[in-house]
Amino acid sequence: MPHDHKSTIFALASAPGRAGIAVVRISGEGAGRAIEFMAAPRPKPRRAEGRFIRHPESGEKLDYGIVLWFPAPKSFTGEDVAELHLHGGRAVVHAVISALSLLPGLRMAEPGEFARRAFEAGKIDLAEVEGLADLIDAETEAQRRQALAQASGTLSDLYDGWREQLIEALGLIEAGIDFADEGDIGAKTFADATAIVKVLAQAVNHHLADGHRGEILREGFRVALTGPPNAGKSSLLNALARRNVAIVSEEAGTTRDVIEVRLDLGGLPVIVSDTAGFRETEGVIEREGMRRSQAVAEAADLVLWLTDANAPQTMLPAALTAVADRTLLVLNKIDLLSNGNGAPTLPDDMVPLSVKTGAGLDDLIKRLTVIAGERIGHPGETVLTQVRHRRLVEACRDGLETFLKSSQRDVELRAEDLRLAADALGRITGRVDVEDVLDHIFGRFCIGK
């Protein structure tokens, strides 16, 4: 990603394609000049004014829209920023973007470059940037709430508060080093620092013991549809998706690969995967399908074992015994049981349904929603949402544990333990050098962000 802050960047900041309104954002020293070339006069700061948008060379009218002017430093990027709110036709947007590219010193923005400039100007930190990216990607209400909280600084406030406590403890340790000749002072400062670290270590461990709730909410609660062939797994997937996403056939072994659909259940993101049926087979392709099914089941947060009411198989195959503790038994085709006569004895916790008639489907969806909600927890809690964050908080925990378990005589090493722990927290928000992760984070954004 370019780091040339002398250049002025521009891009479509709204979604591409035909729309009622399109927003083109311009950031940098040349933003005001761009307005004067194409939509003069420059409006008053933060005041929307109607203007004809003209071609900078021919003067041809390209559109009539709204122009906004945000002089530095009171803008998203901290630079001079202009916004052109246009009619959202493809031809209009193309004409304005092409015209801007003719202005000297202006260039198209790279993905995430506006957000990166905002970060480097101190407008937002890295955790807030990641929350902003998640907010753009949010598909459900719970994801929106979690991402908005992170983008608003709730995680940053938590980690910054912990880091301040670590710096306070580190200051006490270093004060003890400075007064090493006065034993009473050194012992007291070390004891005071240890008291701070013990309380902080408890908070960090509690934060890590969250069952990965925030990450599951961010990525989606994964449900694997498993069962013997012809139990109705693909039909159930289609019923949950309310569309035909999987091929349904009476021929056993039709499903060979994993098919996924994303659902919004009570505001929670749920990803349901249809898998190949489990049975004894000599077919190489079908065996590979079952191998993939097993891998999907092992990675799932919940496994549905779907079986046929006519010949229920309530015992899980050996390949799935490792996931028995998170498996829900589902009995399909109950419409084929005649008045319950001759119905087999089934486990109490088995969910009966008929995908064909729809009977029991709402009950299954409610059950899935409850289970996903219990696993994810309250979306308003301040929880870890990124693997990157978890690894750095774990590094912080390791530093705290080393401090508490190691010899107090090596005071300089204990100071280094706290310094490493504080640096790990600082890397989450970008308070210390994080150049190696910047391209990865900002590369997630679209061009206009």
Helix axes 411-429, 126-137, angle to 10 degrees: 40
CB atoms within 10 A of CB 167: 15
**How far are the Cα atoms of 49, 94, 142, 373, 443 from residue 220, in angstroms, in the given order?**
42, 36, 11, 11, 21
Q: Which fold has domain 220-376?
A: Rossmann fold (3.40.50)
Cβ-contact 85, 21 below 8 angstroms:
yes
- The pLDDT score that the predictor gives to residue 253 is 47
Stretch 28-57: mean pLDDT: 95
Going by pLDDT thresholds of 50, 70 and 90, the confidence category of residue 286 is: low
Residue 347: is its pLDDT beyond 90? no
- The pLDDT score that the predictor gives to residue 313 is 84
Going by pLDDT thresholds of 50, 70 and 90, the confidence category of residue 435 is: low
> Under 8 Å CB-to-CB from 331, ≥6 apart: which residues?
307, 309, 312, 346, 350, 351, 352, 353
Residue 4: is its pLDDT beyond 90? no
Least confident span in 37-46, 51-60, 134-143, 376-385 = 376-385
CA-CA distance, 290 to 271, in Å (whole number)? Answer: 19
- The pLDDT score that the predictor gives to residue 433 is 59
**How far are the Cα atoms of 119, 182, 233, 332, 415 from residue 185, in angstroms, in the given order?**
41, 6, 70, 73, 16
C-alpha closest to that of 418 among 162, 180, 220:
162
CA-CA distance, 421 to 193, in Å (whole number)? Answer: 14
pLDDT per position as a tens digit, 147-205: 999 999 999 999 999 999 999 898 888 877 766 555 566 678 889 999 999 999 999 99
CA-CA distance, 421 to 236, in Å (whole number)? Answer: 48
> Under 8 Å CB-to-CB from 325, ≥6 apart: which residues?
none
Q: Which fold has domain 8-125?
A: Gyrase A; domain 2 (3.30.1360)
> Under 8 Å CB-to-CB from 263, ≥6 apart: which residues?
240, 241, 269, 270, 271, 272
23-26: long-range contacts at Cβ-Cβ below 8 A with a sequence spacing of 24 or more? 23/83, 23/84, 23/85, 23/86, 23/448, 24/83, 24/84, 24/86, 24/93, 24/96, 24/97, 24/100, 25/81, 25/82, 25/83, 25/109, 25/114, 25/448, 26/81, 26/82, 26/83, 26/84, 26/100, 26/106
Residue 265: is its pLDDT beyond 60? yes
pTM higher than 0.85: no
Of the chain, the percentage scoring pLDDT greater than 90 comes to 56
Residue 339: is its pLDDT beyond 70? no
Residue 37: is its pLDDT beyond 90? yes
Cβ-contact 382, 193 below 8 angstroms:
no
Measured over the CA atoms of residue 310, residue 322, residue 379 and residue 272, the dihedral's sign is negative
Stretch 367-380: mean pLDDT: 83
**What 3-state DSSP class applies to 136?**
helix
Q: How many residues does the chain have?
A: 449
Q: Which of residues 63 and 295 earns the better pLDDT score?
A: 63
Residue 1: is its pLDDT beyond 60? no
Going by pLDDT thresholds of 50, 70 and 90, the confidence category of residue 310 is: confident
Average predicted confidence (pLDDT) for the chain: 86
Going by pLDDT thresholds of 50, 70 and 90, the confidence category of residue 266 is: confident
pLDDT per position as a tens digit, 374-432: 988 765 678 899 999 999 999 999 999 999 999 888 888 998 999 999 999 999 998 77
| For the chain, domain boundaries | 8-125, 131-210+384-430, 220-376
pLDDT per position as a tens digit, 106-138: 999 999 999 999 999 999 999 999 999 999 899
CB atoms within 10 A of CB 263: 21
Stretch 246-266: mean pLDDT: 65
Q: Which fold has domain 131-210+384-430?
A: Four Helix Bundle (Hemerythrin (Met), subunit A) (1.20.120)
CATH topology match: 8-125 vs 220-376: no
**What 3-state DSSP class applies to 18?**
coil
Cβ-contact 80, 28 below 8 angstroms:
yes
Q: Which of residues 5 and 32 earns the better pLDDT score?
A: 32
Cβ-contact 215, 146 below 8 angstroms:
no
Helix axes 113-120, 435-442, angle to 10 degrees: 140
Going by pLDDT thresholds of 50, 70 and 90, the confidence category of residue 439 is: low
> Under 8 Å CB-to-CB from 367, ≥6 apart: which residues?
328, 351
Hey, what's the torsion of the CAs at 420, 426, 430, 431, to 10 degrees?
-100
